[in-house]
Structure 1
Amino acid sequence: MNKIRTLIIDDEAPIRELISGILESYSEHTEVCGTADGVTTGLEAIRQLNPELVLLDVNLTDGTGFDLLRQLDDIRFSVIFITAYEKYAVKAFRFSAVDYIMKPVNIDELLTAIDKAIELMERKTLNQQLKNFFDNMNSKPEDKKIVLKDSKSIYIVKVADIVRCEADHNYTTFYLHNGKQVIVSKTLKEYEELLSDFMFLRTHQSHLININHIISFEKNEGGYLRMADGSSVPVSKRKRDELMDFFDNI
């Protein structure tokens, strides 16, 4: 396998040097073809060096990494964003399954992100995920979409169309309004955090529901919810009060 031509764009010279050193020492799949420190120099480097992978800082001296990408007509490389802790940006990355690493840069996290980027190159899905990322940045909450990946496909799903999610050990099954099911190899807890701002409620250890798809709450048999897809979802005793508070505030 030929080494992947990798460009590092970050406005901090020590970060550029650190990442270059990590890749040279620990990554057998990549070679650093160049570095840049901003939007203008980054665009010039991309056009001259034709990288296959770009490690791109979110905040640059003359703009943002997003500004840089928006100026490209066609993105023909994989992207790993580099960011300090910014809750909104990180959540947006996770929503679109876009890879990112946090500062300070951790060797294992960087190498894991590179492995994922190589997988994206093979599946040729990067542009699809970046498009969803930028769409989400500019869309209303009710129009947000989430990227769900199973072993064979990538689905871009409108959050409002998710009826419920159900846990099965380290897997989560999404039940959609059109009857489709998508099984993802991530835990329900991860999606509980990701969907917390979109009227989703954890009603049980194994169940996360979209409140907008509740048909009724049945108090018998310990309590369960009838959902728009025809399913019945149990409500644990611990979550019952939280659910009642929601109904009281409608």
Structure 2
Amino acid sequence: MEIINIKQSKKNQSILPEEILKIEACINYSIIFLKTGHQLIVAKTLKKYEKDLKNCFFRVNRSTLVNINSICKSSGDQVELHNGQCLTISRRRLHNFNSIVNPNFRKLNQ
């Protein structure tokens, strides 16, 4: 798996995609939520992360990109992450979620 290099206030940090719980948009910045509970603010848009991480992440709504492996369960238009947080999948993205993520999710949990 690829390593993500993040530049934060003059220092570089490398993280693996599986360490990320979700990424949220904040104007032209992104907030990376790590599974450890730490947060990183990066001057990179969510759209760029979506393009770079398209194999293991899914954009559930306008402002959130979720690590597929962090999804504990899904029901209807709701997903629950391993940390207990629930997110709503937008109507536009629900069909893609069900066709792309749900089959993979079922295989992982069998």
TM-score (norm 2): 0.85
Which residue is 1:242 aligned to?
96
1:8-87 map, 5 Å: none
1:211-250 map, 5 Å: 211-219=68-76, 223-246=77-100, 247-248=102-103, 250=107
**Once the 2 structures are TM-superposed, how far is the Cα of residue 184 of structure 1 from its aligned partner?**
0.3
Matched, 1:167 2:25: yes
TM-score (norm 1): 0.39
User: Which of the two has higher C-alpha Rg?
Assistant: 1
What is the distance in 2 between the residues matched to 1:190 and 1:229? 25
Which residue is 2:16 aligned to?
158
Which residue is 1:186 aligned to?
44
Please say which of residues 162-171 and 148-157 is displaced more in the overlay.
148-157
- Paired residue total: 104
Cα RMSD after superposing both structures: 1.5
Amino acid at match of 1:201: F
Bigger fraction of residues in strand: 2
Secondary structure (helix, strand or coil) at the match of 1:229 reads: coil
Amino acid at match of 1:174: I
Bigger fraction of residues in helix: 1
Asked if the contact 1:179–1:229 (Cα under 8 Å) also holds between the matched residues in 2, the reply is no
Runs of 4+ in 1 over 6 A off after TM superposition: none
Secondary structure (helix, strand or coil) at the match of 2:14 reads: strand
What is the distance in 2 between the residues matched to 1:239 and 1:191? 17
Which residue is 1:129 aligned to?
none
What is the distance in 1 between the residues matched to 2:10 and 2:79? 32
1:4-51 CA distance string (max 9 Å, x none) = xxxxxxxxxxxxxxxxxxxxxxxxxxxxxxxxxxxxxxxxxxxxxxxx
What is the distance in 1 between the residues matched to 2:91 and 2:9? 35
Amino acid at match of 1:150: Q
**Once the 2 structures are TM-superposed, how far is the Cα of residue 152 of structure 1 from its aligned partner?**
5.0
Unaligned ranges ≥5, structure 2: none
